[in-house]
Structure 1
Amino acid sequence: MKREELVSYLDGLLESGRFRDYCPNGLQVEGRSEVRRIVAGVTASQDLLDAAVTRGADAILVHHGYFWKGEDGRVTGIRRQRLRTLIANDINLIAYHLPLDAHSELGNNAQLASRLGCQSEGRFGEQDIAWFGTLTKSLDLGVLGSKVACALGREPLVIGRPSQPIRRIAWCSGGAQGYFEQAIALGVDAYLSGEISEQTVHLARESGVAYIAAGHHATERGGVEALAAHLAARFGLECEFVDVDNPV
């Protein structure tokens, strides 16, 4: 498949043009023009780049790419080594950030809903990134925490009473603890995100709304993994998801 065709398809599928993001979405580093083999992962770390080189990948597809707003733009040190690996091996780097959080079927939040048994009722937060809805059945918070651990392969940090009943829930993958107050205003019983801040604990205790910090990396594996599987099924591309462990 031609690189331009692949990127054009992904841009359309994920509606990347409608998002105001903190980084460029789509093709970030240009490699060879023909793409047959893709390595997918959460973040374009050196470990993922090396895995792609070993596997003879033509493209790397990630959620966290490069060129974030506010970063030092100089090509030195770690940034130089990462770019050198891509360019020396003629590998394309394709990244989608907010578009991959938001997609209604393949996105991180859609995948969280599927894995946790959440039925979406609406969205909130910046550019409607965060979701809210109900669990298929009410669960005690402790049971829900165990279900999250099983679904994501990581023990979450749970703030609240283990016996607290949870039915209405809001969620947003990644570092979305800043939406907690909006979730509380929606009248939910619990909010799940990837990260947690010091003040989040006090908000949970004082509001009575439980908070589940399930891991930034763990909550954002689902989207890129689902997107890679979609490309393999639709175009017959060789797509492999490589999970570079990250405890955060």
Structure 2
Amino acid sequence: MNNLKLEAILNEKLSPQLIKDYSPNGLQVEGASDIKKVITGVTASQALIDYAVSVGADALLVHHGYFWKGEPEPIRGMKGKRIRTLIKNDVNLFGYHLPLDIHPELGNNAKLAQLLDIEVIDGLEGHPQSVAMFGKLAKPISGAEFATKIAKALNREPLHIAPESADKLIETVGWCTGGGQDYIELAASKGLDAFISGEISERTTYTAREMGIHYFAAGHHATERYGIKALGEWLASEHRLDVEFKDIDNPV
């Protein structure tokens, strides 16, 4: 498949033009025009690039690409090495950030809900383009039980910050994969029982305790494996591309 055609297919599926983002979405580094093999992964790290080169891939498709707002512009050091490796080996880099978080079918939020058996109700901000969601469990469970459920689903122990009433059961849940910890106040203000994100800040602990909401930090990488994996599987199924998901371990 032509690389620009692949970009058009991904843009049509993910509609990046509908959301303001912190990085460009689409083809970020242009490589070979003919794409036969695609490697998908969470972040375009050197290890993922090297793996793609080792298996003769023509493209990398990731959630965390390059050229973030506010980052230094010179292509040098670690950033230079990564981009030189891509260009030297004619590997295309496609990156989709927030559009992949919010996609109702393939998105990180949608996939996390499936893994945790949460019935999606709506966007936490009250509209479909919200980067945080909320929903409901089939039946109320304790904070400890929910922590165990998250650990089994993601193969990673979450950090659980319980509210002052630690025996409070969980039925309604808000979540935002990755670095969405600051949505906890909105979740608490809406009366939700729990909130999940990938990362935690020092302030998050006090918010959970003082606003009476269970909080689970489940890992930025761990909560965002599943959207990019699902996108690759969709490409393979619908467009017959040779796609392989490669998980580069990251404990954060």
TM-score range, shorter chain: over 0.9
Q: Equivalences for 1:53-202 in 2 at 5 Å?
A: 53-125=53-125, 127-160=129-162, 163-202=167-206
Distance 1:189 1:108 in 2: 21
Amino acid at match of 1:115: L
Distance 1:164 1:40 in 2: 40
What SS does the corresponding residue of 2:144 show, helix, strand or coil? helix
CA displacement, residues 62-81 of structure 1 (integer Å, 9 cap, x when unaligned): 00000001111001111111
Q: Please report the TM-score for the alignment, with normalisation by the length of structure 2.
A: 0.96
**How far 1:113 sits from its partner (Å)?**
0.4
Distance 1:65 1:107 in 2: 16
Distance 1:204 1:21 in 2: 28
**How far 1:4 sits from its partner (Å)?**
1.3
Q: Please report the TM-score for the alignment, with normalisation by the length of structure 1.
A: 0.98
Amino acid at match of 2:12: G
Number of equivalent positions: 248
**How far 1:222 sits from its partner (Å)?**
0.6
Q: Equivalences for 1:20-35 in 2 at 5 Å?
A: 20-35=20-35
Distance 1:174 1:216 in 2: 4
**How far 1:218 sits from its partner (Å)?**
0.3
Distance 2:138 2:148 in 1: 16
**How far 1:137 sits from its partner (Å)?**
2.0
What SS does the corresponding residue of 2:120 show, helix, strand or coil? strand
The corresponding residue for 1:218 is 222
Amino acid at match of 2:242: E
Distance 1:109 1:41 in 2: 16
CA displacement, residues 164-207 of structure 1 (integer Å, 9 cap, x when unaligned): 31000000100001111111111100000001111111111111
Q: Is the 8 A contact 1:158 1:210 kept in 2?
A: yes
Distance 1:34 1:150 in 2: 40
Whether 1:243 aligns to 2:247 is yes
Q: Which moved more, 1:41-50 or 1:117-126?
A: 117-126
Distance 2:151 2:65 in 1: 27
Unaligned runs of 5+ residues in structure 1 are none
Question: Where in structure 1 do 4 or more consecutive aligned residues deviate above 4 Å?
Answer: none
Distance 1:207 1:78 in 2: 41
Unaligned runs of 5+ residues in structure 2 are none
Q: 1:208 aligns with which of 183, 187, 212?
A: 212
Q: Is the 8 A contact 1:159 1:204 kept in 2?
A: yes
RMSD: 1.2
Distance 1:87 1:160 in 2: 48
The corresponding residue for 2:235 is 231
